[in-house]
Chains A and B, each alone.
Chain A
Amino acid sequence: MNPAFSVIFLTTLIGVGQGMFLAMYTGHAYSALNILPFETSASFYGVGSMIALVFLVGGLIASFFHLGRPERAWRSAARWRTSWLSREVIVLPLFMGLVGIYAILTYFSWWDLSVYQSASGSNLQLSLVIGVMATLASFALFICTGMIYACIKFLQEWASPLTVINYTLLGVASGFVLATTFSSYAAPELTQFYAVWAAIITFAAMLTRIASLYRNARIKFKSTIQTAIGIRHTKIKQKAMGFMAGSVNTRDFFHNQSQIFIKNMKWIFLTLVFPLPLILLWVGVTYSSSGILIFAFVVQYIGLIAERWFFFAQANHPQNLYYQTI
C-alpha cells in the first residue's frame, strides 16, 4: 500500500490522545483508591485531559484530509452495523465528548458531584464514573481503529489480532510518555509513576510489534498470479497491464520505494519507538529533566510516524498482481 499521511497522522495522534487520557484516568483512579497521594491541584487531570483532547482534535482534522468529499463526512456514521470505519466515526466523537466532560469536571472540581458516599466517608465522584465510560470508549476506539485494517482478510499483513494489539499498545505507550512529560511540569511527584507505566507499556508494545514483524516476514500469500487470472501454470508473466498512463491502481497500492528504504524504515522505527524513549525516560526521571522527557515523547512520536508508514508500506495488496508491468 502507498502510505497516506492523513491516515498516519490520524492514527498516531488519536493514539497519543487516547493514551494520554488513559494515563490521566489511571492516576485519578489510583489516587481515588488511595494508592497514590491525591493530586491536590485537581486541575492536573483536567489540564491533562484537555491536552489529550487537543491530540484527538488534531487526529480528527487529519482524517478529513483523507476524504475526497469531507463535506459529506457526517454520512459516514450510517453503516455502523457492518463497517469498522463507521464505528470509528461514531466512537471517536463520543470519546472526545466524554474526555471533554471529564476534563471540565476535574478542572472545575466544585462541579464534581458525589454520586455515592460510603459509610466510611469515601466519595465516588461523578468524574470517576464519566472516566470509566471514557476508558471503555477509548479501548473501543482502539479496537475500531485496529479492526479497520485487521478486518480486510486478504491484506494478510494486517489480518491479525496483533494489528489491534499493536495499535492499542503503541497508542497507550505514547500517551503515557506524554503524561510523564506533562507530570514533570505539573505534578513532579507523579513523574516516576507515569514513567514506570510508560516504560512497561512501551516494552510490551515492543514485544507485540516484533511479534507482528516476525509473523509478517513468514506470511505465505494465498493469492498468486495463478489464482488472480485462474491459469494453472508455474510460469506466468505479465506483459502489459493494459495502459501506459498511471491510474489509482498504480498509485494507491504501491509505495514505490526500494527494499533498502523499507528495511531502513523498519530499523528507524524500531529504534525511535522503543529503546531510545526507554533510555530517555530513564535519564529524564533520574535527572528530573523535563527537557529530556519532552525529547523522549518527540522521538517516540516521530518513530510512530515511521512505524505507521512501515505498517502501510509493508502490506501487499493482491490487486498488485494485476499491475506488475506497464
Chain B
Amino acid sequence: MTQLALVIDLNVCVGCHACVTSCKEWNTSGSAGYLTDENPYEKDPTGTFFNRVQSFEIGEYPKTETVHFPKSCLHCEDPPCVPVCPTGASYKRLEDGIVLVDFDKCIGCRYCSWACPYGAREIDEQQKVMKKCTLCVDRLYDESLPESERKPACVLACPTSARLFGDVHDPESVVSVAIREEGGYALMPEWGTKPANHYLPRRKIRKPIHEDELQRADNPLNKEQRKPRAPVDEPTLDDSTSW
C-alpha cells in the first residue's frame, strides 16, 4: 500500500518560508477554493495556512544553534483526527494514505482540530469548514502538468531541497532511503499516531585528521625528486600550453 509523505531535512532547511508562500499560493487558487485571509492589511490580520516554518534556538548562548522547523500535516498512518469526525468528512485515502477533509460534508465542529496533537488543522473562519494540508493532491495526479511538477508545491519551491517527497512504504523510494540512512524520525512518537512525514536531524560531518595526515609520509617526490623543468629564461610554447 502506498503512503505518500514528506521528509524534511532540518540539516538543510534555511527557514526561508518559500514552502509557506508556495503552499499558500497554490492552495488558495486551487480547485478546493480559497484559503481565507481576514484583515490582511489591517490591524489583527489572520489567515488559514497549511504549512508554517518555525524557528527554535537549541542550547544556551554562546553555544546555540537555530533550527528552522517546517510544520504541516504529517498524514499519520493512524490519524487520531479521522475517527473522531462525526460526519465522515475527515478521511484517510486508502490508495495513497493522504488525510483529507471533504469540505462539503464538514460541519465545522472543530473536534478534529482538538484531536490532532500537532495543531495541523485550521478552520477557515469564512467558509467555516476545517482545512488542512492536502499534500497537493490536486497536483499529484494532474496529467496536464509535466511529470516533474506532479509534486507538492512546497517541495517544488524549496531552494535547498530540504523537502523530499515520496512513498514511505516503498523501501527503495528516496524518502525511505533518507529515513533509513539519515536517521529520519517522527514527531511525538509517544501518541502512537505513526506520522508518515519524517524529519531528518541536524547532523555534523566531522573528519578527524591526524597531524601525520597533513604531510604525506610516502610522497614519491621525496625520493624521486621533482620533474626536470625547462630553462625559464626564455618563453616557450610549452609554458603557455601546459602546466
Contacts and interface: CB of A to CB of B under 8 A. Distances in A.
B60 interface: yes
Interface in A48-101: 66-70, 72-73, 75-79, 82-86, 89
Contacts of B49: 243, 247
B180 interface: no
A66 B110 CA distance: 9
Contacts of A148: 111
Contacts of B46: 245-247, 251
Interface string B48-70: 11001111111110000011010
A152 B119 contact: no
B123 A68 contact: yes
A245 B49 CA distance: 11
Contacts of B187: 227-230
A249 interface: yes
A252 B54 CA distance: 19
A188 B232 CA distance: 126
Given A241-B54, A243-B52, A253-B119, A75 B83 contact: no
A235 interface: yes
A67 B84 contact: no
A68 B108 contact: yes
Contacts of A66: 109-110
B123 A248 contact: yes
Interface in B184-198: 185-191
Most central of A67, A77, A242 by chain B CB within 10 Å: A242
B169 interface: no
A275 interface: no
B190 A223 contact: yes
A75 B87 contact: yes
Q: Which of the listed residues A155, A235, A246, A247 has the most CB atoms from chain B within 10 Å of its own CB?
A: A247
Contacts of B20: 242
Contacts of A240: 54-55
Contact of A239 (B66, B116, B117): B66
Grouping DSSP codes into helix (H, G, I), strand (E, B) and loop, the B interface class, with mixed when no group exceeds half, is loop
A249 B17 CA distance: 18
B106 interface: yes
A156 to B, nearest CB: 11
A223 B107 contact: no
Nearest to B128: A68
Interface residues of B, number: 61
A207 to B, nearest CB: 28
A238 B56 contact: yes
A309 B98 CA distance: 36
Interface string A127-162: 000000000000000000000100111110000000
Interface string B95-125: 0000000000111111101111111011101
Interface centre among B55, B60, B66, B199 (most CB of A within 10 A): B55
B129 interface: yes
A8 to B, nearest CB: 14
A1 B52 CA distance: 21
B171 interface: no
Nearest to A238: B56
A3 interface: no
Interface string A36-52: 00000000000000000
A78 B56 contact: no
Contact of A152 (B89, B114, B121, B185): B114
Given A76-B87, A77-B86, A247-B122, A239 B55 contact: yes
B202 interface: yes
A222 B105 CA distance: 34
Contacts of A155: 114
B6 to A, nearest CB: 14
Contacts of B106: 68-69, 72
B164 interface: no
A319 B47 contact: no
Contact of A230 (B57, B87, B201): B201
A235 B89 CA distance: 40
A231 interface: yes
Given A243-B49, A247-B49, A79 B190 contact: no
26 contacts: A1-B114, A66-B110, A72-B87, A72-B106, A76-B87, A79-B85, A222-B190, A223-B188, A228-B188, A229-B56, A229-B67, A230-B199, A236-B57, A238-B55, A242-B20, A245-B45, A246-B46, A247-B49, A247-B122, A248-B122, A248-B125, A249-B119, A319-B118, A319-B119, A320-B119, A322-B71
- In the A-B complex, list the 3 residue pairs whose CB atoms are closest, starting with the nearest: A68-B108, A68-B128, A319-B119
Interface of A: 1, 66-70, 72-73, 75-79, 82-86, 89, 148, 151-155, 222-223, 225, 227-231, 233, 235-243, 245-249, 251-253, 317-320, 322-323
